[in-house]
Amino acid sequence: MAIQHAVITDPDIHEPKGAAAATTGQVYVASGSGSGAFSDTISNCHGQMEIINNTVAKTLVAAADTTLNTNAQYSKLTGASAPWASSFAHLVTFNTDSLTAPKAGYYLLSFWSSVLIASNNNFIGIKFGVNDVLSTQKIVTQSSTASDRRNMSATSIIGPVPLGGEVSIWVAGTIGTAITMQDAGMMLAYLHA
């Protein structure tokens, strides 16, 4: 005798096919042709790293290119002057000074910072890099006094980021001086393949 799904009750109700192999947070996505598979979604493939209450300065070498367009004049925000810590990570991996993409594809990148700039009239540029290859995009601020505190933020869709691609933040300045990334954050969220 056949039993119709409509009349099955607990404890005989089962999970959908494939659920046993799905990872935490995956959802079933229909293919449109009568089948489907479990897949990651935008809401469960994300990571953030942040700097909180930092007091260690980073000394910049004055960029010869005052437009801050020359990638070779940027240095990675890493080490004691950039004490990044992981927060809100799911599938995106934190690695000391970068976030690693768990899937190849396009990502939403957001960055914000509060930076203390020691010298007056210093232009500071921020870029992101993927596997230490810097973007053409940048954000720039200028100090208006010595020991000026400036806020910087940007959001961009980046990609295609390769599987395992490491996304990091890089900085340059027009004056050889100290800057302190007092507080900062970078968020990476998967959008699509």
Q: What is the pLDDT of residues 18-68, one digit of tens each?
A: 777 887 777 888 888 988 888 766 557 899 999 999 999 999 999 999 999
Q: How does residue 136 score in pLDDT terms, banded at 50, 70 and 90?
A: very high
**Same domain (yes/no): 84, 125:** yes
**Same domain (yes/no): 29, 52:** no
**Same domain (yes/no): 143, 169:** yes
Q: How many domains are contained in the chain?
A: 2
**Same domain (yes/no): 19, 107:** no
Decide which of 39 and 119 is more confident: 119
Structure confidence at residue 42 (pLDDT): 56
**Same domain (yes/no): 146, 186:** yes
Cα dihedral sign for 10, 16, 21, 27?
negative
Which residue's entry shows tokens 């970078």? 186
**Same domain (yes/no): 148, 60:** yes
**Same domain (yes/no): 72, 138:** yes
Structural domain boundaries enclosing 11 = 5-39
pLDDT, tens digit (0-9, with 9 covering 90-100), for 160-190: 999 999 999 999 999 999 999 999 999 999 9
Strand pairing class (105-117; 148-161): antiparallel
- Reply yes or no on whether the pLDDT at 117 is more than 70: yes
Its pTM stands at 0.82
